[in-house]
Structure 1
Amino acid sequence: MTTLRFEDGTVHVQTDDADAAAALDGLSDVESDPRSGGYRAPAMQYVAIRAALDAAGIDFDDRVAGATETDLSLSTTYDLREYQQAALDAWLDADSRGVVELPTGAGKTVLAVGAMVAHSVPTLVVVPTIDLQDQWIRELETEFDVPVGRFGGGEQKQEAITVSTYDSAYLRADDVGGDFGLVVFDEVHHLGGQGYQDIPRFLTAPARLGLTATFERPDGAHEQVAELVGPRVYELDVDDLAGSHLADYEVRRIEVELTDEERETYDDAQSTFVNYLKRSGLSMQSGSDYQKLVMRSGNDPRAREALLAKQRARDVMLNSDAKVDKLARLLARHRDDRIIIFTASTDLVYRISRRFLVPPITNETGTKERREILDRFRNGTYDTVVAANVLDEGVDVPDANVGILLSGSGSEREFTQRLGRILRPNADGSTALLYELVSVETAEERVAARRR
């Protein structure tokens, strides 16, 4: 007799059948378990184990399927747009495993609802933040009229449909990993983080859907995501949907000059940094070189001086007076628009907030206060907000039609996410504008080129 069970993030195969043992011997990550007398593998190998036993004609008692295949008889009132249906069909055709890449504002949640209806099995949705968790729970409770469980935010309540943060899923996967037939990873690129990769490994869910606006990672970790969830099966970018399902948009680059004092400070600091790189043999072409510099700064005074000089130069070019002066003119020009100002600096956020009397959102802003600010932005009480990084993803941001990028990193993902914040179509069909302010003759020119 051969029996399959979920145990602590693994599939345990108990068998006294020599043919079953032979069928399992060639499978990746399936190992004999002398203690139990059977075989054991990470839970994600459940589908492969079942397929191998079926191919060998082995009868087996599948005690995992009872939980994962429960029919929830879900239905939806959503009419999927043509591209959403095409994405869903591509995912279904890929054996319900894979990643769909769609721009921010393209309705990835609606696509996930379609996938949940197609399978109608217990589903775990994994999201990066509490704000996004709240948004998903509201959406699913409204659409399906069923209780939705929550792992995270101080609550551990499981239902047939449960929404978890990545952190809570990491803690709970080895316990509940055999209870779901479908898992949806929102912002699936987060699985590139080493610790989070245990989440899909500990789940038996045969159906796996990853959602993201930016699948590929500079560190190549998207290749591991493809192994854990499935390959990218459908992809559209902003330009594919602009003017139809998303607003037309225009990116305007504005170059600003440093003041004489800023230029002197920048050139002096940049020279100190570059001269150290020449002496040390570091090229700063990769993150590992930066880590080496940080490590050396602990016991090498010249490395520490170079690191501090790099930070001074960065602060000058990202937070120049000319950028703030130009911002004043842009705010006056767009006084009737809804504006999000993006920065890479918390200090600059507060500087702008004080000067222009606009509400600030940073990582220091409490959850309740952030929600109040965004609610007032949504209902029109505020027409402008300024934020440092925290609105890039994982937060339900109300519609805006003008973005002003005062400073940011060279990340293409960050740029795409910020652009997506202003692309939801307006009733009047107007074009969204993203202004990108860049300090000329500084390293920011290279940073801006990388993110584009």
Structure 2
Amino acid sequence: MTDGPLIVQSDKTLLLEVDHPAADACRQAIAPFAELERAPEHVHTYRLTPLGLWNARAAGHDAEQVVDVLLEHSRYPVPHALLVDVAETMARYGRLQLLKHPTHGLVLHAIDLPVLEEVLRSKKVIPLVGARIDREHVAVHPSERGHLKQVLLKLGWPAEDFAGYVDGEAHAIDLAEDGWVLRDYQRQAVDNFWHGGSGVVVLPCGAGKTIVGAAAMAKARATTLILVTNTVSARQWRDELLKRTSLTEEEIGEYSGSRKEIRPVTIATYQVMTTKRKGVYSHLEVFDARDWGLVVYDEVHLLPAPIFRMTADLQARRRLGLTATLVREDGREGDVFSLIGPKRYDAPWKDIEAQGYIAPADCVEVRVTLPERDRLLYATAEPEERYRLCSTAEQKSKVVEKLVAQHKGEPTLVIGQYLDQLDDLGERLDCPVLKGDTTVKERQRLFEAFRQGEITVLVVSKVANFSIDLPEASVAIQVSGSFGSRQEEAQRLGRVLRPKADGRSARFYAIVARDTLDQDFAAHRQRFLAEQGYAYRIVDADDVLQA
């Protein structure tokens, strides 16, 4: 028995004592393979899952390393059965392989023959495979490569895909050489992705995911399709590619609601790609418009279901997913693993902060108490109305006004999801409000004014959660969120993590109504950031108002 910070339990939960001096080192050591489930003040609960262990395996961690981490940090003897289970679960990855056969094309190859016999008896596998070639090989039609990987993952035998990729249409892309170089972690991320062929790179907001995408394009030197969340993001990608690569404006096309350009590098929005006409996704033909050598998925955790379906048919193309968090609120992490690829690189946020590439952040939860009248309204409201009532409480607006005054002159974002609440805050603070119906041109004008310091406070709806590059923002005040969305919390903190010219810390305030759904959802939203080492200080709204 040692004085370690971790208690490993036979039900595959790991309890981490947050105040232990070795807690940070332990958290970083278990992060590649364990998922945080709950993060109250003193003890955080992690869980070992098959997908987490397989992602770790694909990223280069073996069972021996995982077992060593558990033994090193555990306070009590680790249950032997759990160690065996970890080793056996990780050993399931890659016992089946997808290969290119010299005469039979795409085949499923068994390293472990009984596993092949088992999966070939599954009703879901039978329609996806062809003739048995010999004891160890079964033919697979190339169009079923993605579907087969999805099914095998669900059966608990994730296949390792060594079938290779088509080069696609060649197109010269070089990184520009004008006074900047790839950071070590960016180069490592690109190398890991390229070596694996396809997969996901996880980097904090502000750590240069777009640059990783550009470097992957320079490695592929082929036509590239880039899928992004919205038109503003598409134009930021274009600007970054023009700055960081040899590409010219004529080589980059935008495929969005307002433009339909197919060029050697085409940037398309998820929104236009998933627009239906007469029940048909007419724009998905963009996937077939050219012989793409690389497909890049920005914010891969937001990938809509129709794009998954199309990606299942794109398995011969190199695919790069970029995200700050692999968390999906719809539980489809397995589809990301199967269809885009496993996690190839994951940089802990605090590591990137320690290197000075993202700003340190002070996270504060400000709790407001509803007056008795509002508490009665909340208690008697219909369940679907309760979250709106506590999220838009009048007390929150007073706290926002006070915090904005305290940070006067600092570039500040006020973020929420209820439009009437945001309009009211815009009036109170006498500042612009940016919402879904704000035109792309006006959004770009407001963002530019904010960057230049002409506007220091901007009220934004959830349209600003993703891919918005506001390097100077240093204060974010969240008044309401999308229920318990962990990915949204990560994205919103990311808005203020760009390193500051004067070295100051970022401030992230979450204003929460005490004893309501708002408080419950806030605890859930904070889980991912707690996993990354961010701790929320809890303060009372009265203390803020009296300061």
| TM-score, reference length from structure 2 | 0.63
| Residue among 361, 379, 384 paired with 2:452 | 379
User: Is 1:86 aligned to 2:188, yes or no?
Assistant: yes
User: Is 1:137 aligned to 2:210, yes or no?
Assistant: no
Q: 1:138 to 1:329 in 2, by over 3 A?
A: same
- Paired residues of 1:399 and 1:421 also in contact (CA < 8 A): no
Counterpart for residue 340 of structure 2: 229
Counterpart for residue 435 of structure 2: 362
Distance 1:176 1:317 in 2: 47
Distance 1:71 1:25 in 2: 30
Counterpart for residue 14 of structure 1: none
- Paired residues of 1:252 and 1:435 also in contact (CA < 8 A): yes
User: Is 1:183 aligned to 2:285, yes or no?
Assistant: no
Structure 2: unaligned runs, 5 residues or longer: 1-101, 110-124, 132-139, 147-158, 275-282, 527-547
User: Is 1:76 aligned to 2:140, yes or no?
Assistant: no
Q: 1:26 to 1:81 in 2, by over 3 A?
A: closer
Mapping 1:43-442, distance limit 5 Å: 68-70=168-170, 72=172, 74-77=174-177, 78-94=180-196, 96-142=197-243, 143-146=245-248, 147-169=251-273, 171-173=283-285, 176=288, 179-191=291-303, 193-203=304-314, 205-243=316-354, 244-269=356-381, 309-408=382-481, 409-442=483-516
SS in 2 for 1:255: strand
Q: CA deviation at 1:265?
A: 1.1
Q: CA deviation at 1:76?
A: 3.0
Q: CA deviation at 1:158?
A: 2.1
- State the Cα deviation string for residues 147-174 of structure 1 (Å, max 9, x = none): 2122223333222222122245562447
Q: CA deviation at 1:104?
A: 0.8
SS in 1 for 2:380: helix
Q: 1:267 to 1:71 in 2, by over 3 A?
A: closer
SS in 2 for 1:156: coil
- Paired residues of 1:177 and 1:203 also in contact (CA < 8 A): no
Q: CA deviation at 1:314?
A: 2.1
Counterpart for residue 33 of structure 2: none
Distance 1:264 1:169 in 2: 45
Amino acid across the alignment from 1:249? A
Q: 1:428 to 1:348 in 2, by over 3 A?
A: same
Distance 1:106 1:26 in 2: 38
Q: 1:328 to 1:415 in 2, by over 3 A?
A: same
Distance 1:222 1:263 in 2: 38
- State the Cα deviation string for residues 415-438 of structure 1 (Å, max 9, x = none): 000000001011110011111111
SS in 1 for 2:226: strand
SS in 1 for 2:326: coil
- Paired residues of 1:76 and 1:114 also in contact (CA < 8 A): no
Structure 1: unaligned runs, 5 residues or longer: 1-18, 33-38, 55-63, 270-308
- Paired residues of 1:116 and 1:182 also in contact (CA < 8 A): yes
Counterpart for residue 3 of structure 1: none
- State the Cα deviation string for residues 275-304 of structure 1 (Å, max 9, x = none): xxxxxxxxxxxxxxxxxxxxxxxxxxxxxx
Counterpart for residue 16 of structure 1: none
- State the Cα deviation string for residues 76-97 of structure 1 (Å, max 9, x = none): 3241112111211221221x21
Q: CA deviation at 1:31?
A: 5.9
- Paired residues of 1:76 and 1:113 also in contact (CA < 8 A): no
User: Is 1:444 aligned to 2:544, yes or no?
Assistant: no
- State the Cα deviation string for residues 141-196 of structure 1 (Å, max 9, x = none): 332233212222333322222212224556244762661111111111233x3211
Q: 1:346 to 1:377 in 2, by over 3 A?
A: same
- State the Cα deviation string for residues 213-242 of structure 1 (Å, max 9, x = none): 111213321211111111011112332222
Q: 1:41 to 1:431 in 2, by over 3 A?
A: same
SS in 2 for 1:196: helix
- Paired residues of 1:374 and 1:398 also in contact (CA < 8 A): no
Q: 1:158 to 1:207 in 2, by over 3 A?
A: same
Distance 1:374 1:25 in 2: 51
- Paired residues of 1:101 and 1:213 also in contact (CA < 8 A): yes
Amino acid across the alignment from 2:269? T
C-alpha RMSD of the superposition: 2.9
- Paired residues of 1:68 and 1:205 also in contact (CA < 8 A): no
Q: 1:107 to 1:441 in 2, by over 3 A?
A: same
SS in 2 for 1:372: helix
SS in 2 for 1:140: helix
Distance 2:107 2:446 in 1: 58
Amino acid across the alignment from 1:76? A
Counterpart for residue 36 of structure 1: none
Identity of aligned residues (%): 30
Distance 2:511 2:329 in 1: 24
SS in 2 for 1:208: strand
SS in 1 for 2:395: helix
- State the Cα deviation string for residues 45-68 of structure 1 (Å, max 9, x = none): 7xx9x977x9xxxxxxxxx95x71
- Paired residues of 1:44 and 1:200 also in contact (CA < 8 A): no
Q: CA deviation at 1:43?
A: 8.3
Amino acid across the alignment from 2:182? L
SS in 1 for 2:507: strand
